Amino acid sequence: MGTGSSVYAVKGVALGDNASIGKDAHSSIALGNETKADMMNSVALGYRSTTNYFYDKNDANKSTAVLSGKDSLSAMELDGYVPEGSSYKIFNDKAAGIISVGGW
C-alpha cells in the first residue's frame, strides 16, 4: 500500500511510498517510505531501512555497516549479541530473519 510499493513474496506486506518486498522475502514486512525487505521473516522499519546489511571484514568490532564491497561480510554471518557473562549461545540462521530500524 503506497505509491510505487511492491510485494513479490508470499505473505509479504509493504506499507509506504516505494516500499518493497523481494521475491525471496516470504513473511516479511517493509513499513515506511523507501523501505526494502529482501530476506524471509524480516522487518524493515523506517525511512530507507533495508534488511540487507554488510560489515567490513577488517573491522574487529564489526560495528560499522557498509552498503557492499569485496571486503564485506553479510550481517547474517555475524554472531548474535550475547550480554557479557551470559552462557547463552545464538546460532546464525537465515530463517530467523533480520529486524532493521532506520536507514541511511
For the segment 59-70, what is each residue's pLDDT rounded down to a tens digit? Answer: 767 666 776 667
**What ranges do the domains of the chain cover?**
6-45, 54-90
pLDDT for 22:
95
Q: Global pTM?
A: 0.75
Spans of the chain below 70 pLDDT: 60, 62-64, 67-69, 104
Q: What is the DSSP track for 53-98?
A: -EEETT-TT---EES--TTEEEGGGSPPP--TT--------GGG--
Residue 37 region by backbone torsions, left for phi larger than 0, else alpha for psi between -120 and 50, else beta: beta
Provide the pLDDT for residue 102: 82
